[in-house]
Amino acid sequence: MTTYKPTPHDVAWMKALVASLTLGGVWGYKDQPILFKKTGEKTMALITAPFGDARMDEEIARNKVVMAEAGITFIDQRKKS
């Protein structure tokens, strides 16, 4: 698990991002195959990301930390094939 500590800027950015999305809006993380969907006013669901990729797992873990600090609930809704 990550030991990442978000900066106040990271937390403010995440709050602004989630506030700017409409319910059902999707946010793609950088140039990576990670997609989140806004499922509630303060809830983001991970809907697409590879399983078992250490680099992606770290990015997801960092996002979970920032979301938690921002008061946003993280839900993993990926489906394993």
1 inside domain: no
50 inside domain: yes
pLDDT in tens, 16-52: 999 999 999 999 977 889 999 999 999 999 999 999 9
2 inside domain: no
| Nearest Cα to Cα of residue 49 among 41, 61, 40 | 61
> What integer pLDDT is reported at residue 1 of this predicted model?
53
- Domain interval for residue 32: 8-76
12 inside domain: yes
More confident residue, 57 or 2: 57
47 inside domain: yes
Give the model's confidence band at 81: pLDDT under 50 very low, under 70 low, under 90 confident, else very high: low
Q: How far is CA 38 from CA 3, 48, 72, in A?
A: 25, 13, 10
3 inside domain: no
Domain count, the chain: 1
27 inside domain: yes
Q: pTM value?
A: 0.89
Q: In DSSP terms, which residues pair with 27 in a beta bridge?
A: 36
